[in-house]
Amino acid sequence: MNPTPPGIAISASLICADLCNIERDLRQMEAAGIDYLHVDLIDAHFSPSMPMGIEVVQQARTKTSLPFDVHLMVENNEFFIGEMAKIGVQRICFHPEAALHIDRLLGLIRDAGIRAGIALMPATPLSVLEYCLDRLDFLLLMLINPGFAGHACETQVPYALHKVADCRRFLEEREFDIPIEVDGRVSFENIPGLVAAGATELVAGSRSAFHPGSDLAGNVARMREAIARGIAMGQDA
């Protein structure tokens, strides 16, 4: 198994796994060298789907030692932060678009010993980060509008690469070096451009790690090849 190129992490999406055979798929992720298990918790209000509940996350936690990378797409952030802290996750990000008290929620996460992040919808400006950067351990940029995992009609927003590059520049200008995670239609074809633009963490779903054209190990190996091309592109730019 070739390791993921340094500085880049792969976060495999739990909702794209076979939830009826979750332990089998978790073992395959471990064997493939996945860095994080990406957990999308959706309440059917913030986004029109509810692919899994808290109990699924609890069961998955007992089956693997992979660090859990939780992405909250909910209205009641405080409740879900508390439940995830009980389960024992390693990272939580939430959406300021659904949060009245951003600073307070970041404090709740960090006080629980969990790495804290903010997730931004495609059209949300980076300026919302201005006064909380020093409390962030990572950022997540949505490259599609939240909906249903794997929906063929959903495509990346046309300004995806532009926003990733703008985010990297925004952080550098303020002398912050934190990971930029990208989520939404991350594919073998667009990974090089995303990495070259400044993405350092990739949420891997139905267009990459769980692509039907191969098994998970083969797909992750293909992702690593695409990442290496993106690093080379960034160095040549």
Q: Could you tell me if 71 and 38 are in contact, meaning their C-beta atoms sit under 8 angstroms apart?
A: yes
> Can you tell me the mean pLDDT for 114-135?
97
pTM beyond 0.85: yes
- % of the chain at pLDDT higher than 90: 85
Q: Where does the pLDDT of residue 224 fall: very low under 50, low under 70, confident under 90, or very high at 90 and above?
A: very high
Per residue in 85-103, pLDDT tens?
Answer: 999 999 999 999 999 999 9
User: Across all residues in the chain, what is the average pLDDT?
Assistant: 94
Cα–Cα distance, 171 to 73 (Å, whole number)? 24
Per residue in 134-152, pLDDT tens?
Answer: 999 999 999 998 865 545 4
Q: Could you tell me if 141 and 183 are in contact, meaning their C-beta atoms sit under 8 angstroms apart?
A: yes
Q: Dig out the tokens for 224 from the structure.
A: 């690593």
Cα–chain-centroid distance for residue 233?
Answer: 22
Catalytic residues: 40, 183
Q: Dig out the tokens for 175 from the structure.
A: 């002398």
Q: Where does the pLDDT of residue 202 fall: very low under 50, low under 70, confident under 90, or very high at 90 and above?
A: very high
Q: Report CA-CA distances (Å) from 97 to 163, 167, 180, 210, 228.
A: 17, 18, 18, 29, 34
Kindly list the structural domains of the chain, giving each domain's residue range(s) and its CATH number in brackets, ordered by start. 9-236 (3.20.20.70)
The pLDDT value recorded for residue 213 is 86
> Can you tell me the mean pLDDT for 211-229?
96
Q: Is 127 exposed, middle or buried (0-12, 13-18, 19+ CB in 10 A)?
A: exposed
